[in-house]
Amino acid sequence: MPQISKSPPTYYRPQPDKVSLPNRSLASLRFCKWLWYLAINPNGRIPCIVDDDGPGGKTVTVFESGAILIYLAEKSGRLLPHETAARMEVLNWLFFASGHITHTGLGVHWQIRRRDAGEEHAYLGVAQEENNRVYGVLNRGLEGRDYLADDYSIADISAYPWIYRWRMQEIDLDSYPNVRDWLARVGARPAVQRGLQIPPRDDGL
Ligand SMILES: N[C@@H](CCC(=O)N[C@@H](CS)C(=O)NCC(=O)O)C(=O)O
């Protein structure tokens, strides 16, 4: 009898990937419902960071991967432009990733159950339709562009760990050629390759 977890498997972890790409930090899922962790992130999920060396020497606590990306970009002065129009273009796609692309993970739980136990779920069709809509938006956004906001930015970092799982989401990538090319472009970046190996993985996702 196949073992089925009640929640999505811990190895399906695009949110912490977003942070390990630029930051190489990762919390352990075992601890994220413990009181000390909830005091840092009331949402009880990974990732979150505590920077003891924040601006003015203050300790800064940040949860939600999108907020962490903004914090790290501002701290490093990279991957988020200061000029308003360019900055907003990055933030448009960052929030799109946090608000929409993140939902591509919802169907994966049921896809894994179907794969491991042959169990169908009515939600799968709805999830598939929404996932294809999201890939369509990305494909249009990437028309004539190398990266989501022209230059490589935290928007790409936020989107990539989800889209990188396109096989798991049962997406026909050839239908989205701009996304396919962008995936190859982002995936070829040495820092992205290093980030995806933290922690080391052999799950093929
Ligand atoms: N909106 C949050 C989502 C965080 C999230 O869902 N994290 C998952 C891993 S990808 C998690 O902590 N799962 C463990 C759990 O729910 O207990 C973010 O972007 O940081």
Q: What is the pLDDT of residues 150-191, one digit of tens each?
A: 999 999 999 999 999 999 898 999 999 999 999 999 999 999
pLDDT at 93: 98
Residue 200 domain-assigned (yes or no) = no
34-43, 51-60, 112-121, 155-164: segment of lowest average pLDDT: 112-121
- Name which residue leads in pLDDT, 188 or 121: 188
Residue 105 domain-assigned (yes or no) = yes
Residue 94 domain-assigned (yes or no) = yes
Residue 1 domain-assigned (yes or no) = no
Give phi and psi for 78, each to the nearest 5.
-130, 160
Report how far ligand 1's centroid is from the alpha carbon of 15 (Å): 6
pLDDT at 200: 75
User: Which atom of ligand 1 is found nearest the CA of 32?
Assistant: 17
Query: Rounded to two decimals, what is the model's pTM?
Result: 0.86
Probe residue for ligand 1, chosen from 41, 46, 61, 154 as the CB with the greatest number of ligand atoms within 8 Å: 46
Residue 204 domain-assigned (yes or no) = no
Residue 97 domain-assigned (yes or no) = yes
47-51, 132-136, 152-156: segment of lowest average pLDDT: 47-51
- Name which residue leads in pLDDT, 185 or 6: 185
8-17, 36-45, 136-145, 152-161: segment of lowest average pLDDT: 8-17
CA-proximal residue: ligand 1, atom 2 (nearest): 64
CATH of the domain at 24: 1.20.1050.10
User: Which atom of ligand 1 is found nearest the CA of 48?
Assistant: 20
Quote the number of domains for the chain.
Answer: 1
Ligand 1 binding pocket includes 72 (Cβ within 6 Å): no
Residue labelled with tokens 């190895």: 11
| 130-137, long-range: CB < 8 A, 24+ apart | 130/103, 130/104, 131/103, 131/104, 131/107, 131/169, 131/171, 132/171, 132/175, 134/100, 134/101, 134/103, 134/104, 135/163, 135/166, 135/171, 135/175, 135/176, 135/179, 136/176, 137/96, 137/100
Ligand 1 binding pocket includes 64 (Cβ within 6 Å): yes
Residue 187 domain-assigned (yes or no) = yes
pLDDT at 5: 34
Structural domain that includes position 107:
14-195
Split at pLDDT 50, 70, 90, the class of 116 is confident
Residue 205 domain-assigned (yes or no) = no
Report how far ligand 1's centroid is from the alpha carbon of 29 (Å): 9
User: Which atom of ligand 1 is found nearest the CA of 98?
Assistant: 19
